[in-house]
Structures are given as structure tokens and as C-alpha cells.
Amino acid sequence: MSRPTLKDIAEATGYSVSTVSRALADSAQISERTRHRIHEVSRRLGYQADPIGSLLRTPRPRVIGLLCVLGQELHVVYRDHLLAEAESRNLRVVTESIGPFRTAVDAVSNLRQLRCQALVVIDPATAAGADPGLLDGAVVIGQERGIPGADLVTSDNTRGMDQLVAHLASLGHRRLVYVDSVPGASAAARLRSFTRAADHAGISYRVVAGGADIDAGLAAVAPLLGEGGPLSPGAADRHTGVVCYNDQCAQGAIIAILRAGLRPGTDISVAGVDNSRLASSSAFDLTSIDRCPGQVARLAVDLAEARIESGTSSGPLQTLTVDTSLVARSSTGPAPQ
């Protein structure tokens, strides 16, 4: 036989289909005995509810749509956590990824079609250009409020940056370079946290334009390493550390430093943000700021669930904040004399 249905269980137990349905949903109005018996038979037959059937019937099914960019490692990490968290609360997640063959508009329309009652969007910069209103009522992860009509779960860089700057200061660094990203809410927020922390710690710094990928980091740092550049060992105002917008940018910085014949962590310290997989590789062993994706995911599911239960569009917009924290590795070390 193919997969057993409610009907099969009903026949096996002698109860009606609806009773079986209620029993398996742990409805309060079913007697303990029946409930037990039905559960048992269901287990014995290997019953698994067919989501298609219930989706079709349920007015507000517990389905969260996730819009992300699977090409970005951090998004995949968030997704893993989101799925685990959602599953533990009996919520489904359906994922759409923006990519070379999929626009944000297509993705969202697909999600709506699949009856998603709430929408979680990771880092909507990619999607923002599209339709204003496209992401209304969504739960946004990862930025300052870029989407006016959406809830927000954001990382507060303050704590992580404070820890990072304190860490560098305690290692004797007095002058740092900050590699910024392209203009945007996210870049502005991180830069602000950095300058605040540096000012506070009495560290002087220099901000240079960079970007969010490895090439940008390379291009930003390479010129600073040349004769007389602020990162060159012989410079009068020698800067001994580089803090980057994110890990990928920091990887570019490390490559630049290596190419210049210098040693990251010894001649120049480098740090990033995101605590990505490559950061923990021994090849880079990059000091980074962790954004606690597990916690972020949990809060995002909280908000999404609330929206599902309250009928998606109502209620005042919320902003939840998750603290970041430093993960120190060997890419940062004592400042050279």
C-alpha cells in the first residue's frame, strides 16, 4: 500500500476520520483513551500527515516563507537555524532564493502562492530595489530598518565592536584602519559602532572605502601597504590593525597583506564581522564578531509566529536586537613595536 491516510487509520480503529484528525491534533475534546489508541495505531501504520491535504483545508496554515540568497554563506546558516527553530514549533518553512534565475518579485509571488502566512527576509538589500510594499508585513533579519512596513531582528554591533576594539587596544594597537562597505544602512551601522568604540578607547583610526567581498578587501588594503602607506611597517604614523566590514572583506585584506610579504596577526592584525566558516579555518583563523545566528533565528520565528497567529498584517512594528560578541583568533596579535 502507499502511504496511509486518515481514512486508513479510521478504518483500522473504527473511529471516524474527523475523530482521528482531532486526536492526532491533540484536541482537548477527545477522550484520553481514544487519543492514545489512535496515536498508537497511527504509529503502527507509519502514518505521516500529508501536508498538501491539510494545507489546502486550513485557513491560516502555519507556513513561513523565507526569502534569502543561498549564494551567501551566512544566509544558509540563518536558514538552518530558522528551519530547526520553526520545526520545533510545528511551523513549516518554504524557502525561495534570489539568484541568477530568480528575482525578488518572482520569489515572493511564489511564496504567497504556497500559502505562506508570514514572510522572513534575510538582508533585504537585494530585494529592496523591487517593489515598495513587496515586503510589507515581513520580518526582516539583519539590517537597520530598510523596509518601512516590516518587523526587524537586528544585530547590535555595539558589544562586539567594543570587545574587538578593547581586545586590540589591550594588544597594544593605537592606530587602526577601518575598511568600510558600500553605502547603505548596514555599512553605516557598523562604521558607527566602530568609531564609537574607537573614540571611547582612545584609538585613532582611518576609514577607507571597501566593500563586502574579498576583492573589495584586497583592493582597499593593497594600496595602504605600499612604501609610506599607513599600513607599511616603516610609516611614521604606522597603523597596526585592520578592522573590516565583514569576513570576506577581511579575507581580501589578509591576501593583500600576505602578498606584500607581511604576516597577518604578527605584522598587521586583521578582524572581520560574521564569524563565517572561513573565519574559523586554520588558513585564515580570523578574529571576528559573531552575530549569534541561532538567537536571531529564534527571534525571527517568534515574530513570524506572532504574525501568523494574529493574522499577519496587524500590530505595531517591532524591532528586536541581538547582541554580538567577539571571537578572538590568531589573525589579531600584539602590535609590533
Q: Could you list the residues that contact its own copies (CB under 8 A)?
A: 3, 48, 50-53, 55-56, 70-71, 73, 76, 79-81, 83-84, 87, 95, 97, 99-102, 109, 113-115, 213-215, 217-219, 251-252, 255, 258-259, 261, 263, 277-278, 281-284
Owner of C-alpha cell 562597505: 181
| 113 lies in the site for DNA, by CB under 7 A | no
* Cα 92 → chain centroid: 18
| 24 lies in the site for DNA, by CB under 7 A | yes
The SS3 of residue 80 is: helix
Around Cβ 309, how many Cβ atoms within 10 Å? 12
Q: Cα(89)–Cα(3) distance, rounded to whole angstroms? A: 25
Closest CA to 252 of 244, 262, 263, 261: 244
Which among DNA, its own copies, none contacts residue 101 (Cβ within 5 to 8 A by kind)? Answer: its own copies
Do residues 144 and 328 lie in contact, with contact meaning Cβ atoms separated by under 8 Å?
A: no
Minimum Å distance from CB 56 to its own copies?
Answer: 5
The residue among 30 and 242 lying less far from DNA, judged by its C-beta, is 30
| 50 lies in the site for DNA, by CB under 7 A | yes
| 91 lies in the site for DNA, by CB under 7 A | no
Buried b / exposed e along 130-140 (16+ C-beta atoms within 10 A): beeebbebbbb
The residue among 36 and 263 lying less far from DNA, judged by its C-beta, is 36
Q: Which of these ranges, 18-26, 78-86, 153-161, 181-189, lies near DNA under the rule CB under 7 A?
A: 18-26
Ranges of H-type helices in the chain = 6-13, 17-24, 32-45, 51-57, 73-88, 104-113, 125-128, 157-170, 185-201, 214-221, 247-259, 293-310
Of the candidate residues 1, 26, 57, 313, the single one contacting DNA (CB under 7 A): 57
The residue among 82 and 198 lying less far from its own copies, judged by its C-beta, is 82
Ranges of H-type helices in 260-326 = 293-310
| 29 lies in the site for DNA, by CB under 7 A | yes
The residue among 106 and 199 lying less far from its own copies, judged by its C-beta, is 106
Minimum Å distance from CB 201 to its own copies?
Answer: 30
| 310 lies in the site for DNA, by CB under 7 A | no
Q: Which residues contact 15 (CB under 8 A, 6 or more apart)?
A: 9, 23, 34, 38
Instruction: Give DSSP secondary structure letters for 182-235.
Output: SSSHHHHHHHHHHHHHHHHHT-EEEEE---SSHHHHHHHHGGGGSTT-TTSTT-
| 42 lies in the site for DNA, by CB under 7 A | no
Q: Which of these ranges, 51-59, 66-74, 78-86, 147-155, lies near DNA under the rule CB under 7 A?
A: 51-59
Name the residues that contact DNA, by CB under 7 A.
2, 5-7, 14-19, 21-22, 24-25, 29-31, 33-35, 49-50, 52-54, 56-59
